[in-house]
Structure 1
Amino acid sequence: MLNSKQCDAFLAVAETGSFDLAAERLCITASAVTMRVQSLEKSLGHLLIVRERPCRATQAGLSLLHYLQHTRRLEQNLLQDLTGQTPESPFYQLNIATNDDSLATWLLRAIRETLLREKIVVHLKVDDQTQTHHLLEAGLVSACITTEQQPMKGCVAKRLGCMNYRMVATPEFSRRWFAQGLNRQSLRMAPAVIYNDKDHLHTDIILEKFGLNIESYPHHFIPSSTAFVEAIEFGLGFGMVPDYQIGQRLHTGEWLELLPDSHINIQLYWHHWKQQSPPLAQLTRDMIDKAPSYMNQQMNTSF
């Protein structure tokens, strides 16, 4: 049998990355945390925590971490199901990971009726669409929107639809920086707008078509979907924008598509644990049912 106090100490260190922070969370001394983790490692016969700054779990530690986090979620779900919805606590909380572009465009439109009807509040964690499944794997969320097609063990993955991205800029920006055309020389001078260092949509296209890596040209990192679009509107740079946010700008001439043959369709998937609470199961059903129409609507209304 696992010792609950030892497991709590290990979980606190793994999640905070520090024995001192774990001690604050558990209201005990750092030395007590150390002793409990050492005792757990001795009883299991494996090193669980690499003592670095920050601390990190070993492979054996990750297995235990996922088990403990999953057990904690099941316990929380059970307690919430048994206690029901009271006047003091009428809402059910769900932790979900999403990419910023989905949040800024179709996501809330697709789930708003479910949130209101089922009395659900969501705590959203935002990351790049290629990274959100790691939050599910780490036990920090119960479901996620991701580009990862294959579910990890214990999870289910279902296709939601796709988001289409185009490389765009204002006419003024294009005249200033691409007067002689879009080529290696002009791209070395023109500032790009990129979401963050995990976002490879822009960099992969430029590398594939022109052989330039990100160090070869000036670029902004703007990790906000709405501010990203504003940066392009203000003429600060050019970048990859989903059709939903492009709207009618290409038709009205406010923006130009710089590489018409290089737009990208990003397939998105909904991942969740096989064992779902009733509210999450309902949200999953509605998400799978409604998300495709909202995601298709973004293309049908734009082009």
Structure 2
Amino acid sequence: MKNIDYKLLHAFNMVIKYESFDKAAEFLYLTQSAVSQRIKQLEQLVSQPVLIRSTPLRATEIGKKLLNHYYQVQQLEADLLPHIYPEDLISPLTISLATNADSLATWLIPALAKLIQTHNIELNLEVTNETNTIYKLKNGEVFGAISTQATALPGCVVDKLGNMNYVLVASPDFRDKHFKKGVNKDALLKAPGLLFDSKDMMHIEFIKKEFGLLQGSYPCHIIHSSEAFVNFAKQGLAYCLIAELQIKDELKEGKLINLLPKKQINQTLYWHRWSLVKGVFKKFSDNIIEQGSNILS
């Protein structure tokens, strides 16, 4: 039976992390040739390619599985070393998780704040659409992900966090200018909307379901920021779907108007993470579950 050589996995991880053999070599204090040789040795060990030599460099399916295993071994090591060498200065522990932008803009940071303040941690937040965060976990890039998917991945567990409610809003001036006769198909063909990105299916599916309009048939700005959504809407530049949790004050003060009070979208969020979670990773996981369950409806 062949044993995994973690020296080779470490080199592979650096190549994927920096998307470059040269940068990985610089980090590892090796030559580019030596790093390349380690990748070849790893591929010989598993008898198949682990790297797609494209731009950027990408891991193959078996490569993703190896990286996922490597990250979990790192987690176990990080939990064990302080008990073995309590007097040694331990390097910061990198904790990577995937989140949707709306959770990050509302309830997630308070869930992480105390642990970041009390532990030697480098936090890496991968921010993407809530339907895509699960792929970050599947590919081994993060130890946990906030997602709309209810089913756990192999080797992972999942807990329900709660519902995040979204409402269609605009400023009073925007409403008076574009929706004098209410929100209807004709008005939406001219009024500019707002998307988080081109894969913002929540907005696209909502407009399609309620008004029969297809993506591309109506104008939409694209801004990759939940906070900018609020500012854009408050400035009267667009209408958009925003998490109600994020704009409670604006709705109360009348700076934003709920355009369709009888219609809202409820997205159920789930917390996925590796089955084998210990130490600080478990504390992070527990805090996310507790905060999410307390804040989300």
TM-score by length of 2: 0.85
> Which sections of structure 1, spanning at least 5 residues, go unmatched?
297-303
Q: Deviations over 1:203-244 (max 9, x none)?
A: 111122233333222222222222210110000101011111
CA contact (8 A) 1:98 1:124 kept: no
For residue 27 of structure 1, what is the amino acid of its counterpart? Answer: Y
Q: Please say if 1:148 is aligned against 2:140.
A: no
Offset of 1:95 from its aligned partner?
3.3
**CA pair 79-199 structure 1, distance change in 2 beyond 3 A:** farther
Q: Deviations over 1:91-138 (max 9, x none)?
A: 87643332221222222344555666x647561512222222333333
In structure 1, the partner of 2:159 is 158
Counterpart selection for 1:57 from 24, 45, 59: 59
In structure 1, the partner of 2:123 is 123
Distance of 1:92 and 1:43 partners within structure 2: 29
Distance of 2:91 and 2:23 partners within structure 1: 32
Offset of 1:2 from its aligned partner?
2.7
1:55-204 aligned at under 5 Å gives the runs 55-84=57-86, 94-112=95-113, 119=119, 121=121, 123-125=123-125, 126-204=127-205
**CA pair 119-18 structure 1, distance change in 2 beyond 3 A:** closer
In structure 2, the partner of 1:299 is none
Q: Deviations over 1:117-161 (max 9, x none)?
A: x64756151222222233333333333322221221222111111
For residue 295 of structure 1, what is the amino acid of its counterpart? Answer: L
For residue 219 of structure 2, what is the amino acid of its counterpart? Answer: P
CA contact (8 A) 1:85 1:91 kept: no
Distance of 1:15 and 1:182 partners within structure 2: 46
Distance of 1:8 and 1:292 partners within structure 2: 37
CA contact (8 A) 2:145 2:271 kept: yes
**CA pair 84-212 structure 1, distance change in 2 beyond 3 A:** farther
Q: How many residues align?
A: 294
The RMSD of aligned alpha carbons is 2.8
Three-state SS of the structure 2 residue aligned to 1:9 is helix
Counterpart selection for 2:13 from 7, 11, 14: 11
Q: Deviations over 1:267-286 (max 9, x none)?
A: 11122222222333334334
CA contact (8 A) 1:193 1:236 kept: no
